[in-house]
Amino acid sequence: MKKLTPDQLQQFDREGYLFFPGHFSREETSKLTDEVPGLYARREAYNVREKGKDAVRTNFAAHMYSEPFARLARHPRMIGPVMDLFDERVYMHQFKINGKAAFEGDVWQWHQDYGTWLNDDMMPTERAMNVAIFLDDVNEHNGPLMFIPGSHKKGVVEARHDLTTTSYPLWTVDNALIETLVERAGGKSSYDAEGRAVGGGIVSPKGPAGSMILFHSCLVHASGSNLSPWHRVSVYLSLCAVSNHIRRHKRPEFIAHRDFTPIDMLPDDCLLKDYPVDLPWQDGLPASALQTTSVPIDEMDQVTTKVVIPA
């Protein structure tokens, strides 16, 4: 397993993210891409659709019922760098495939992921991280991620719970703070003699399918709508240090996982070979995956949980 270099560790500390263009081959990526239409077609609670549309916004927990994604969830090229950054083993806190469909993919407002994990899941600290893997080529037109470099240094910023803008509730950062963070990160981009953007307080990593981004759970990010004719499907794996596991089950298990077992990695060729993997939800979503409680884990013995199915 290849280790992160000192320069990469310094860059992550400074900017809050690392970009690995073409990290997975086209052949490896196609094993995942070919699986997505069948997953999106399912009428299950774990498929959250765009507001007023049939297009899937987010598919949750595919690693629990899809063999290719179960193997991706154990891939050393994805797990290894995160363990390097935390110097600790990790478990899967969340696993989602975001759709961003051509012409229909809606915005993701400015937010920090840890803001949601703290407010909803009672995750103790920000020792958790997102890994994004492009399943389609990402360009400037199909709704790429936008990051404010260095914004993770602010820690947890003030946010409000937006329940109306999109079909998926999010703890979002207000416009005034975004303006301040962007200005501190470099402000508006300038342009060189050939018309290429130089510097600026917002960056958007773009690249071929199979590219990977690691980004800090406090890094402020967003993405615009996709008005282009090209899909922009990406996998987002949220990995958490085992010692930092969540303390509350306010959200269904298919959104915030409750198995804190450290991930055992598969060999590097696991997307190309049929290594056996457990698929505990392959016969359907169990009722337990819908149970929630607002009470912390250490008080759960005194509480009866209820079933909540998100819209």
User: What tens digit of pLDDT does each residue of 157-179 get?
Assistant: 887 777 766 667 778 888 998 89
pLDDT of residue 301: 53
Q: How many domains is the chain partitioned into structurally? A: 1
pLDDT of residue 122: 96
Check pLDDT > 90 for residue 187.
no
pLDDT of residue 302: 44
Q: Is residue 38, in this structure, part of any structural domain at all?
A: yes
Q: Is residue 84, in this structure, part of any structural domain at all?
A: yes
Q: Is residue 215, in this structure, part of any structural domain at all?
A: yes
What pairs with residue 111 in β-bridges? 172, 221
Q: Is residue 1, in this structure, part of any structural domain at all?
A: no
The parent domain of residue 145 ranges over 6-307
Q: How many CB atoms lie within 10 A of CB 278?
A: 9
The answer to pTM > 0.85 is yes
- Three-state SS for 200? coil
The pair phi, psi for residue 19, each rounded to 5°, is: -115, 130
pLDDT of residue 51: 79
pLDDT of residue 300: 63
pLDDT top residue among 228 and 55: 228
pLDDT of residue 154: 86
Q: Is residue 201, in this structure, part of any structural domain at all?
A: yes
DSSP state of 46: T
Check pLDDT > 60 for residue 277.
yes
Q: Is residue 148, in this structure, part of any structural domain at all?
A: yes
Q: Compute the radius of gyration of the chain from its Cα atoms.
A: 19
179: domain CATH number is 2.60.120.620
pLDDT of residue 170: 74
Q: Is residue 120, in this structure, part of any structural domain at all?
A: yes
pLDDT of residue 165: 66
Q: Is residue 59, in this structure, part of any structural domain at all?
A: yes
Compute the distance between CA of residue 91 and CA of residue 77 in angstroms, rounded to an integer.
15
Check pLDDT > 60 for residue 306.
no
Mean pLDDT of 237-256: 96
Compute the distance between CA of residue 73 and CA of residue 243 in angstroms, rounded to an integer.
19
- Three-state SS for 34? coil
